[in-house]
Amino acid sequence: MLEVQHLTKRFGTMTAVADESFTVRPGEIMGLIGQNGAGKTTTFRMILNFLRPDSGSVSWQGHPLTAADYNQLGYLPEERGLYPKMRVADQIQYFAELRGMSGKAVRAALPEWLDRFQVKGKPSDQVKSLSKGNQQKVQLIAALIHQPRLVILDEPFTGLDPVNASVLEAGIKRLRDDGAAIIYSSHNMSNVEALSDHLIMLKDGAVVLAGTVPEIRHSFGRTKLFLESALTEAQVQEFAGVQSVQRDGARLVVTLSDPAAGEAIFAAATAKGYIPEFSQQPPTLDEIFRLKVEAGHA
C-alpha cells in the first residue's frame, strides 16, 4: 500500500504541493488530475525520491521506500526517454535488467508483452523506425515487464489514438487485476472516469476534490437535464432554478442552479403523457474539472 501523508513542496516562494495526502492499495487505480502546473509531476517525483518534500512522508507497505522497493516499481515519465538507435528488444531488456530481471526472462516474456500492447514492429527494429504511438508503448512495456507492484504513469495516454488508448486502458486494468497499486495522471476525463477506482484533483498544489468518480459527481447534485418533449426553450427557461437552456438536435440540454427544478419540469413535460426523453444527471467529470479550474478566475 502506498501512503502519502501531508506532502508539501516549495520552490522559493511558490508552493508546488500543499499538504497532500492519499492512499493507493494493491489492486487499486488512482487518478491524479489537475491543470498544467497543478503539482501532479512534483507529486510523482517526491514519491520516487527525485525530489525531497519540505514536509510530509511517503511510505510503501508501511515503511519508507528502499532500494529493493524501487525494483518493484514501474514508472512512465511524462517526458519520454528512449534510445532511438537501439533495437526494441535491447531497449526493453536494458531497462528490465536495471530492475533486477534477467535477460533470459525478458526475452521469454517479450513476445507476450508486444502482443498485449499490439506494438506494430519487430523486436529487431530500431526504436526510431516505429511510430510515436508505438514508441510510447515500447517505453510502457519497459516500465512494466518486470511486473512491478507499484506503478506510476505520468500522462500515459498522450499522443495515443482512441484504439491505442483502449489497448492501454485494458493493459492498466490487467495490472490492477494482478494486484498492482497504480497511480496515473491524465487530462482526458473519459480515461479517468473509465479507469479510476478513486481520484484526487489538485489545484495550485492543493487537493480540491477526492473520492470515487460517482461520489464526486453526485456531490455536485443532479444539475444537468436532458429533455425531449413539446416544451420550448423559452418555456423551460421560465422555470425557477433553471440556469441555462441549449438545444442539441431534437432535445434540450438544461443546466439547473437548483436540482429540485427537475420535478416541476418533468410534471409540465409529461402533462399530456409520454415524452421521448427525460434524464436528470450530475455534471460530467469533465464539466466538474472545468468548474474547479475556472473557480476564482472569473
- pLDDT > 70 in the chain, percent: 99
C-alpha cell at 75: 514508472
Phi, psi of 153, rounded to the nearest 5 degrees? -125, 115
Q: What is the rounded average pLDDT for all residues in the chain?
A: 92
Q: What is the pLDDT of residue 200?
A: 95
Q: Are 33 and 201 in contact (CB under 8 A)?
A: yes
Q: What is the pLDDT of residue 158?
A: 83
Q: What is the pLDDT of residue 296?
A: 58
Residues 17-35 have pLDDT tens digits of: 999 999 999 999 999 999 9
For residue 277, the one-letter residue type is E
Boundaries of every domain in the chain:
2-218, 221-281
Residues 124-139 have pLDDT tens digits of: 999 999 988 889 899 9
Euclidean distance between CA atoms 261 and 256, whole angstroms: 7
Which is more confident, 162 or 93? 93
Closest CA to 231 of 271, 181, 175, 172: 271
CATH number of 221-281: 3.30.70
Euclidean distance between CA atoms 197 and 284, whole angstroms: 16
Residues 152-173 have pLDDT tens digits of: 999 998 878 888 889 889 989 9
Say yes or no to pLDDT of 297 above 70: no
Q: Is residue 71 very low, low, confident or very high in pLDDT (cuts 50, 70, 90)?
A: confident
Phi, psi of 220, rounded to the nearest 5 degrees? -90, 0
Say yes or no to pLDDT of 187 above 90: no
Residues 42-61 have pLDDT tens digits of: 999 999 999 999 999 999 99
**Inter-helix orientation angle 132-144/88-98, to 10°:** 30
Euclidean distance between CA atoms 142 and 100, whole angstroms: 13
CATH architecture for the domain at 2-218: 3-Layer(aba) Sandwich (3.40)
In angstroms, how far apart are the furthest CA atoms of the chain?
73
Residues in CB range of 285: below 8 A, 6 or more apart: 189, 192, 193, 213, 216, 217
